[in-house]
Structure 1
Amino acid sequence: MDSIFSGFMQALYLLATGDAEVYEVAALTVKVSGFATLFSVAIGVPIGLWLALREFPGKRFCLSLINFGMGLPPVVVGLFVSLLLWRYGPLGMLGFMYTVWAMIIAQAIIAGPIVAGLSFAAIGGLNPKLRLQLLSLGATEWQANWLLIKEAKLGLLAAVMAGFGGIVSEVGASMMVGGNIKGQTRVLTTATVMEVGKGNYDIALALSFVLLIVVYGIVVLLTYLQNSGKRERYETSGAGNNGCKSGSQ
């Protein structure tokens, strides 16, 4: 218990004194996981939307692949990406191995199925007649899809949070494709594992608490956006109900 408390106090000390290395590692953690989340959203949301709105042979098979990908072991993803980006691999000419881009690619692959699966659930939970009503009112297919995304914003933000949470705490793939190089690819998770391996449990605990503080701050931001969406929907429905009441009078 004392070691946990001392680790927490050391984390606060490192943050309060502006430790350059800790801030550099924390900033790189946010950068890598942030870009990976953006890429996974750019890929996963359209896939979830397409699966929710289309009926075709093999749809259940596609959904099974998405569900399988949601539980894909990160270390397997790291191995697969390593084989692709290795010097003699199919994408070796890109020179991404042991760089930030390799970590972003691996984390995007991990988060992609999570975002796609939860996006499918969010959009599939809407009234199936809503899209037909939008199209009948003159909306184009792109406009109807965009309005559906706005309607399912709460569920989609939950998908973003789940995707971000799944990769910001990931260590296996990041270690394999990034190499944990100081000043280049070292993030909070890989730095923590390194300190544990060296027996520096106090520093490892401090880095863990810094990671928790960073993750909590980002989740608070996303939760605020999610709750603002709830408030907008409540105010809109309230205005509509008031209009109905005044019209009935």
Structure 2
Amino acid sequence: MDLLIDGFTKAIEMIMTGDSEIFAITLLTLRVCFTAIFWSMLIGIPFGVLVGLTNFPGKRLLLVLINIGMGLPPVVAGLTITMLLWRSGPLSDLTLLYSPTAIVLAQFLVSLPIITGLTSTAFQQIDPKLRLQIKALGATKAQMVWLLLKETKIAIFAAIMAGLGRVLAEVGAAMMVGGNIQGETRILTTSIVMEVSKGNFDVAIALSFILMSLAFFITFLLTFLQQRTRYS
């Protein structure tokens, strides 16, 4: 109990004193997470819609692969990105290993299947009669997709929240591809692991409080928007 109190006190102290390193770590955490989620949404939602609405040879196999990807261990994602960016890898010329971009790539690989899979599931659950009704009213394909997106917006918000929660909590891949370099690639989760390894449990708990506060605020905001769109 004393550790928790000390950690909470340390968190308040870090925030109130304007600890520049903590703010830098927090901002980098938000930057890489939101960038990864942005690209996951940009690619995953349209791909999920396509998979959910169309039938094609190999669809079941593709859905199996997507579902496997939803449970992809972060260290496997980190290993994949590391091998691609390693000095003997196919993308070595980009020199992105141990950079924030590498963390974004690893988090993108982790969150993309989640957003794609949940979006696809939402569209597969739409009543076929609704699609026929929309077609009967003379809607174009683009108009039909837009109407179905509005119909499934609550589920899509849930997919975004699930993906964001995954990348906010991710540590293994970020540590592997980012290296936890001070001032360069150190984010909240990797900082927590480092402080625990050094025995600084009060600092680790303080960082955990900051991370949980961010997760709570972001989830609260997205849930508010999700429920607001329910009545719009």
Identify the TM-score tier after normalising by the shorter chain: over 0.9
Q: Could you say which residue in structure 1 is the equivalent of 2:164?
A: 164
- 5+ unaligned residues in a row in structure 2: which ranges? none
1:186-207 deviation digits (Å, cap 9, x = unpaired): 1000011111111111101100
Q: Could you say which residue in structure 2 is the equivalent of 1:41?
A: 41
Quote the Cα distance in structure 1 between the aligned partners of 2:102 and 2:139: 40
| TM-score normalised per structure 1 | 0.90
| TM-score normalised per structure 2 | 0.96
1:125 aligns with 2:125: yes
- What is the CA distance between 1:57 and its match in structure 2? 2.0
Aligned pairs (5 A) from 1:1-249: 1-232=1-232
1:169–1:189 CA contact under 8 A, matched in 2: yes
- What is the CA distance between 1:27 and its match in structure 2? 0.8
3-state SS, counterpart of residue 231 of structure 2:
helix
Report the structure number with the largest CA radius of gyration. Answer: 1
1:81–1:102 CA contact under 8 A, matched in 2: yes
- What is the CA distance between 1:217 and its match in structure 2? 0.9
What amino acid does structure 2 have at the position aligned with 1:222?
Answer: L
- What is the CA distance between 1:152 and its match in structure 2? 0.6
1:25-57 deviation digits (Å, cap 9, x = unpaired): 111101101110111111211121111111122
Q: Could you say which residue in structure 2 is the equivalent of 1:238?
A: none
- What is the CA distance between 1:117 and its match in structure 2? 1.1
- 5+ unaligned residues in a row in structure 1: which ranges? 233-249
Moved more, 124-133 or 107-116: 124-133
3-state SS, counterpart of residue 89 of structure 1:
coil
1:26–1:214 CA contact under 8 A, matched in 2: no
Quote the Cα distance in structure 2 between the aligned partners of 1:26 and 1:140: 45
1:44–1:116 CA contact under 8 A, matched in 2: yes
- What is the CA distance between 1:18 and its match in structure 2? 1.8
CA RMSD of aligned residues (A): 1.1
1:48–1:120 CA contact under 8 A, matched in 2: yes
Quote the Cα distance in structure 2 between the aligned partners of 1:132 and 1:20: 57
Quote the Cα distance in structure 2 between the aligned partners of 1:147 and 1:38: 22
Quote the Cα distance in structure 1 between the aligned partners of 2:130 and 2:101: 40
Moved more, 33-42 or 117-126: 117-126
- What is the CA distance between 1:9 and its match in structure 2? 1.7
- What is the CA distance between 1:140 and its match in structure 2? 2.1
3-state SS, counterpart of residue 90 of structure 1:
coil
Quote the Cα distance in structure 2 between the aligned partners of 1:77 and 1:173: 6
- What is the CA distance between 1:183 and its match in structure 2? 1.1
1:205-235 deviation digits (Å, cap 9, x = unpaired): 1001110011111111101100101222xxx
- What is the CA distance between 1:135 and its match in structure 2? 3.0
1:74-109 deviation digits (Å, cap 9, x = unpaired): 001101100001122101111111111111011001
